């Protein structure tokens, strides 16, 4: 029997099954350093630093010499059983010379190297022998900075050998055999995400997806609570792969969601916009279409009509969500809720649903990847509502409706925007005629024209009038026209008792989304006489510098509450103006409104005076 040395466990030496006494922990630390660097000269200063770190005691050299002397004596005491092992002094240091095969660490490294080069069967055998050399943690019984650092490095070598062995066993289809040892490894290394990812994969292959998902949540929770970090990209990727496999088993085809609401009845307008949507959708991949415009302009109707007309383009399904960004009731639907609903529609079981929002988005993108699908996001407030719900697949089309311009979505994701204006007179006439019938429309042509003028081409208002007219077919249309004549009661005439289809409630939801400065400005602009107002006049009305007034008007324009129909001139839809006047009377003090009108009148007087002097200079000279 020959003397053998150990560092992969308790540091020491054995002859057969008998332990060789190697002294105190610090003396065994010297032995460990010499064994790891077997055959190499280790300087005295290096030995001192590794035993005592940066705080060596006085007389450290003398103590080191005594450690070396005792180790040498222990080796020499074995005589022939030492089999050539010797501790030799060199100039400036010491070296322990022994056959590498007699040091467990060097034998471990040789077996791992040979195992890596072998086939799966042979490599598995060699790696099992290598891993069997580990008794417990490396350098057991030795403390200090060097020992801790080296222990971590050696343990990493051990884990890499385990992972290599598992790769080979998995290639051989022996995943069940790996579970007991792998569970022990994860238990002893709770923060090693490589091992957690591997155990998740093995559990998945063993058909234990639920256990694998629980393991991920356990590791994620431990990392967050004890280290304050998120799972690594590798572990998150494994989690997503597991969710995908758990959500869409091979035995079942992925569900094909058909979530579009019914198409609008009697839709016969917007031929130009329908054609433009189709053209935009055909322009390329990664298509995001944004339909924007003021409340009641018909964005949802157009989106649904177009979607139903092109179902053949999206054979893998259609997802729909109304985010209620401008709901009259204020019940905004969160993006996280929509995302969970979409995942459920795509077949994800509640038990497989990730708890993390980013993981949900990633799983959603994985499930729709490569599928020709339409995603309709109705009534979104801003780009932040949309971005987590973008598929990220060139095969998908996303159709978004919003009262805001969604400029950020166009800038960051190349959304193609189509702004809806009011209906043309012919379109408005056709819409109302289809709803009330051609006979009735022909019988009261002049009254019909007056009704449409009061609606200003706003589809919601026209729809409300049509609803009221058809509810009482025996009433003459002149009865409705009489209600609409007075501006002060016009919005009341367009109230059918349903907040979702009440013109005043629709405008109110846009008003509530404004900042306080924008809301004040909106109300004051509603008081301004005339069909439009210049930037300079608006600045005077609002008592703002022109740059600040331009910013406020841009905010209102983004929400489609005002329109810059020509450069530096702004106008409101007639019905929007009526609501703005109501808002001003309800929320702004009377003296604030009066002062604003005085500023505007003063501006117009000064402008008229200046214009008069430019146009008729001689008149002013003679006077």
Same domain, residue pair 399 and 454: no
Residues 99 and 196 in one domain: no
For residue 288, is it within any domain?
A: yes
Q: What is the count of structural domains for the chain?
A: 5
Tokens of 330: 């204020």
Query: Would 538 be classed as within a structural domain?
Result: yes
Residue 621 lies in a domain: no
Whether 355 and 365 have beta carbons less than 8 Å apart is answered as: no
Return the H-helix or E-strand segment holding 378. Answer: strand 374-380
161 and 46 assigned to the same domain: yes
Q: What is the pLDDT of residue 285?
A: 65
Q: Give the CATH number of the domain where residue 222 resides.
A: 1.25.40.10
Q: Which pLDDT belongs to residue 599?
A: 95
pLDDT at site 80: 74
* Domain assignment present for 89: yes
Contact 537, 573 (CB under 8 A): no
Rounded distance, CA 113 to CA 100, Å? Answer: 14
Task: Single out the residue in 123, 153, 169 at which a domain terminates.
Answer: 169
CATH code at position 403:
3.40.50.300
Is the same domain home to 498 and 528? Answer: no
**Residue where a domain terminates, one of 247, 279, 299:** 247
The residue written with tokens 């969601």 in the block is 257
How far, in Å, CA of 226 to CA of 492, rounded? 60
pLDDT given for residue 617 in this prediction: 80
Q: Are residues 155 and 180 in the same domain?
A: no
Whether residue 142 is found in the same domain as residue 189: no
Same domain, 48 and 96: yes
Query: Please, what is the angle between helix 233-247 and helix 357-368, to 10°?
Result: 50
- Please tell me whether residues 449 and 480 are part of one structural domain: yes
Residue 561 lies in a domain: yes
Which domain CATH number covers 11?
Answer: 1.10.10.10
Which residue matches tokens 């189709």?
278
The answer to whether the beta carbons of residues 573 and 294 sit under 8 Å apart is: yes
Please identify every stretch of the chain with a pLDDT value under 70, giving residue numbers as ranges: 244-254, 266-267, 284-286, 330, 619-623
DSSP letter, residue 403 = S
Q: Which residue segment(s) compose the domain that 525 sits in? A: 514-614
In the chain, the N- to C-terminal Cα span, in Å, equals 131
Alpha helices in 143-192 (DSSP H): 145-171, 175-188
Domain identity same for 92 and 199: no
CA distance 136 to 133: 9
Residues 165 and 185 in one domain: no
Residue 14 within any structural domain of the chain: yes
Q: 499 and 542: one domain?
A: no
Q: What is the DSSP string of 518-532?
A: HHHHHHHHHHS-SS-
Pairing type for strands 374-380 and 318-322 reads parallel
Q: How far apart are CA 270 and CA 424, in angstroms?
A: 9
Alpha helices (H) in 421-545, listed in sequence order: 425-436, 438-443, 445-455, 459-471, 477-485, 487-493, 503-512, 516-527, 535-542
**What pLDDT is recorded for position 254?**
66
Q: Within this chain, do residues 203 and 156 fall inside the same structural domain, yes or no?
A: no
Q: Is residue 255 part of a domain?
A: no
Q: Is residue 426 part of a domain?
A: no
Question: How far is the C-alpha of 477 from the C-alpha of 469, rounded, in Å?
Answer: 7
Please report the pLDDT score of residue 248 as a whole number: 47
Reported pTM: 0.62
Query: Where among 185, 213, 247 does a domain terminate?
Result: 247
């Amino acid at each position: 029997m020959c003397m053998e040395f150990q560092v992969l466990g308790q540091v020491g030496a054995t002859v057969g099954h008998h332990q060789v006494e190697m002294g105190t922990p610090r003396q065994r630390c010297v032995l460990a350093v010499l064994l790891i660097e077997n055959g190499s000269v280790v300087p005295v200063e290096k030995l001192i630093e590794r035993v005592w770190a940066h705080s060596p005691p006085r007389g450290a050299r003398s103590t080191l010499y005594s450690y070396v002397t005792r180790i040498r004596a222990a080796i020499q005491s074995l005589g022939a059983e030492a089999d050539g092992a010797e501790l030799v002094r060199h100039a400036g240091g010491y070296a322990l010379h022994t056959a590498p095969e007699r040091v467990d660490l060097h034998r471990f490294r040789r077996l791992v190297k040979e195992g890596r080069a072998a086939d799966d069967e042979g490599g598995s055998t060699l790696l099992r022998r290598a891993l069997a050399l580990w008794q417990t943690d490396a350098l057991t019984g030795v403390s200090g900075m060097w020992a801790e650092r080296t222990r971590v490095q050696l343990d990493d070598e051990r884990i890499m050998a385990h992972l290599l062995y598992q790769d080979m066993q998995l290639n051989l289809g022996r995943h069940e055999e790996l579970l007991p040892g792998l569970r022990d490894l994860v238990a002893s290394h709770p923060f090693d995400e490589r091992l957690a990812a591997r155990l998740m994969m093995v559990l998945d292959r063993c058909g234990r997806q639920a256990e694998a998902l629980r393991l991920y949540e356990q590791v994620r929770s431990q990392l967050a609570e004890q280290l304050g970090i998120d799972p690594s990209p590798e572990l998150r990727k494994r989690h997503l792969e597991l969710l995908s496999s758990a959500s869409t088993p091979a035995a079942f085809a992925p569900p094909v969601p058909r979530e579009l609401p019914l198409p609008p009845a009697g839709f016969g307008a917007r031929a130009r916009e329908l054609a433009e949507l189709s053209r935009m959708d055909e322009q390329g991949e990664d298509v995001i279409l944004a339909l924007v415009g003021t409340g009641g302009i018909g964005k949802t109707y157009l989106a649904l009509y177009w979607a139903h007309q092109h179902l053949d383009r999206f054979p893998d399904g259609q997802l729909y969500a109304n985010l209620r960004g401008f709901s009259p009731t204020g019940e905004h639907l969160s993006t996280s809720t929509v995302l969970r609903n979409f995942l459920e529609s795509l077949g994800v079981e509640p038990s497989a649903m990730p708890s993390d929002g980013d993981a949900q988005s990633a799983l959603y993108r994985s499930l729709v990847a490569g599928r020709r699908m339409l995603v309709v996001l109705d009534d979104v407030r801003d780009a932040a509502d949309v971005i987590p719900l973008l598929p990220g697949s060139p095969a998908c089309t996303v159709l978004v409706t919003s009262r805001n311009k969604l400029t950020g979505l166009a800038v960051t994701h190349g959304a193609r925007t189509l702004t809806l204006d009011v209906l043309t007179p012919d379109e408005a006439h056709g819409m109302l005629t289809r709803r009330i019938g051609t006979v009735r429309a022909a019988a009261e042509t002049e009254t019909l024209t007056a009704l449409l003028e009061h609606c200003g081409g706003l589809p919601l208002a026209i729809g409300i009038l049509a609803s009221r007219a058809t509810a009482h077919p025996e009433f003459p249309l002149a009865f409705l026209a009489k209600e609409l004549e007075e501006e002060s009661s016009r919005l009341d005439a367009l109230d059918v008792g349903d907040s979702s289809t009440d013109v005043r409630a629709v405008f109110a939801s846009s008003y509530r989304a404004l900042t306080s400065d924008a809301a004040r400005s909106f109300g004051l602009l509603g008081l301004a006489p005339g069909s439009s107002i210049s930037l300079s006049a608006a600045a005077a009305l609002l008592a703002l510098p022109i740059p600040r007034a331009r910013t406020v008007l841009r905010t209102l324009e983004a929400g489609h509450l005002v329109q810059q129909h020509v450069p530096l001139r702004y106008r409101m839809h007639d019905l929007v103006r009526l609501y703005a006047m109501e808002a001003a009377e309800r929320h702004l003090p009377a003296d604030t409104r009066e002062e604003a009108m005085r500023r505007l009148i003063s501006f117009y007087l000064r402008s008229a005076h200046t214009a008069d002097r430019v146009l008729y200079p001689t008149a002013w000279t003679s006077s």
